[in-house]
Amino acid sequence: MSANSHQSTRSEILSHIDPDDFSWAVPIMRTGYAGRGLVYLVVAGLSLWSVLSGGQAEGTKSTLQSLDGAAGFAVIFAIATGMFAYAIWRAVDSFWDLEAYGSGAKGIVARIGMLVTGFIHGAIGALAVTVLGVSSSGSSSKELLNQFLQTPAGVWVVGGIGLVTMGTGFYYFYKAATQSYREHLEANHFTMHWNPALRIGVAAQGVVVLIIGGLIVYAAMSANASDAGGIDAAFEWLHQQAYGRILVGLLCAGLLMFSLFCFVNAVYRIVPKAADPSVQSVARKIKSMAQ
């Protein structure tokens, strides 16, 4: 489907929608993106500080576990709330098609992708809850994955998950290259002038997701769950490369910009079915300025 036909399909869908009917979804979206931004701010910020101090970057779980005291509890609680809100937002966004993708093949793929990202962020929220003291199941999860990898189907399933994850990483690169995210941001002084930082942040997220996907594929090929991992595994792999500390530091800086991207979405993201038609996106603003 071409960009023009996609826009016409979206316009046709929105022409039959009353934004007030979906205004209830906006607070969920804002909370979710804010929580997502908080995760990357904490993980990337503390990891960058660790690298600059001569230590090693940490993943989500290690970073959450390093937060103690009343302030740490408050941050972890906020992260858990935000992640669950983001997971709910993705599910709501997909079910009610709030982005107005439509029911065509491209729209269905996009909406399935929302559910997948929602599940992943829900898992991060659950991780935050375990850090708050409910339980810890990291080792048992690895054992279950190892058992699953011993079966012929397990290798293919885990390998497929890794390939899909890598595909998601490439999608972030595409998103950064085409700057398609500007279609979803309200045009104002901030979003018009801070685009380079937002673009770098999206690309940095693509690097992390691509590495994680590659490690999952490698874990499937080696039938060893310990080869897979999240952000911590991506940091560790990158640290082992030439000029690893510099690369990890740059990636942490990029992820800080991705946290900015999330916070900007929390404030200025346009939810098509809940937005006033008069609200102009960055993409539309730039297009009108060029004419």
Q: How far apart are CA 115 and CA 39, in angstroms?
A: 19
What's the confidence (pLDDT) of residue 21?
Answer: 82
What's the confidence (pLDDT) of residue 150?
Answer: 73
What's the confidence (pLDDT) of residue 135?
Answer: 46
What's the confidence (pLDDT) of residue 136?
Answer: 47
* Torsion on CA atoms 199, 202, 206, 212, rounded to nearest 10: 150
Q: Which residues does the chain have with pLDDT short of 50? A: 1, 135-137
What's the confidence (pLDDT) of residue 256?
Answer: 95
| Sequence spans of domains, the chain | 18-290
What's the pLDDT tens digit per position in 195-232?
Answer: 999 999 999 999 988 988 888 888 777 776 666 666 77
Q: How far apart are CA 224 and CA 227, in angstroms?
A: 6
Report whether 159 contacts 220 (CB < 8 A): yes
Closest CA to 44 of 60, 66, 61: 60
* Torsion on CA atoms 236, 238, 244, 245, rounded to nearest 10: -50
What's the confidence (pLDDT) of residue 133?
Answer: 59
Q: 274: which 2 tokens?
A: 């809940």
* Residue 230: other Cβ atoms inside 10 A: 19
Q: Which amino acid is at 146?
A: N
What's the confidence (pLDDT) of residue 185?
Answer: 95
What's the confidence (pLDDT) of residue 170?
Answer: 92
